[in-house]
Structure 1
């Protein structure tokens, strides 16, 4: 899972944004709500033809593939959080196609203790609503993403791609492809 971004100065902080010390304290006591988005390209009939994976460097300095992911802020609708994180990671021209009533394909529970669930985040207990989101516009890696690769759904499910993903996001990606009928 990725964090939303570096903490802006207090004068620039949006409403609902916690200071670094506040989020650290909350993470000790409460599950934090996240969204995970699997960006996809679809053909004219709506079939998924490509999956977008970000290339990031983990805090440990390891290169990894990742989904679009981030926190839902206080008083923010889930759909708004999806749009914000997609635009943050893929750019303002990504043009996400989020339905009027978005429904997650699964709920992933990330725990700080490895092995309890397939999802792991050493910082916190996080509950993430996971979505497959078609994007129609020009996507370019933003913020801390180094690259964006568009691969076929079959390639996304291959073992070597799965091993490049951390925290259980490889499994989440496979679940997304099964949800859209594109598991090999």
Structure 2
């Protein structure tokens, strides 16, 4: 089998703003959502990383790592790129050899269709739990990164502060990991 160069030229993988706006009006857009975790040597979850961001209308909300999958980009590469975008190049995420999402979230521009809402578009997101081992620093539009114990992450106040249904997604992730709700 011939070697295929799958390096992604991100400049050609992004749509121009007007093209993206048009696509969002006609097609579901593929995303990845990531629950970053810190685990001990036995794989027991010690903490969960939650981002603090400012929305376009000036609200401060909590979110998970999230981002689009680019044209001709493998899921594992989208996970790495979006984790680096939000947590920094030294986060050292551990993407499994066969990444399988713990759930699929479907975001709608119309509130109430599902627990997940994105006013810009209909989006389908593959949701992953990814351990990180390195130093994490908020990047780009991320104001802060908070590491909470799983129990603290499930507190009603934390979940209520999460935007776009990410509180539901976090609850599902922790349930998937065996934490009582």
| TM superposition score normalised by structure 2 | 0.93
1:86 to 83, 86, 100: 83
Alignment counterpart, residue 26 of structure 1, candidates 23, 26, 37:
23
Match of 1:157 among 143, 154, 160: 154
SS at match of 1:14: helix
Q: How many residues align?
A: 173
List per-residue Cα deviations over 1:19-44 (Å, max 9, x = no partner).
11111000000000000000000011
The answer on 1:180 being equivalent to 2:177 is yes
Q: Equivalent residue of 2:12, what SS? A: coil
Q: Distance in 1 between matches of 2:10 and 2:83?
A: 19
1:169 aligns with 2:166: yes
CA RMSD of aligned residues (A): 1.1
> Deviations 1:127-157 (Å, cap 9, x if unpaired)?
0000000000000000000100000001111
Question: Are residues 1:97 and 2:94 paired?
Answer: yes
Does the 8 Å CA contact 1:39/1:52 hold for their aligned counterparts? yes
Q: Which residue of 1 aligns with 2:108?
A: 111
Alpha-carbon displacement from aligned partner over 1:164-184 (angstroms, at most 9, x marks no partner) = 101110000000001111234
Of 65, 69, 73, 2:62 maps to: 65
After superposing on structure 2, the runs of 4+ consecutive aligned residues of structure 1 that deviate more than 4 Å are none
Contact 1:174 1:183 (C-alpha < 8 Å) held by counterparts: no
Gaps of 5+ in 2: 1-8
**In structure 2, C-alpha distance between the alignment counterparts of 1:81 and 1:130, rounded to whole Å:** 12
> Counterpart of 2:142?
145
How far does residue 15 in structure 1 lie from its aligned partner after superposition?
Answer: 2.2
Deviation at 1:13, TM superposition (A): 5.7
Cα separation, 1, equivalents of 2:76 and 2:155: 30
* 2:11 matches 1:14: yes
- How far apart in 2 are the matches of 1:118 and 1:62? 20
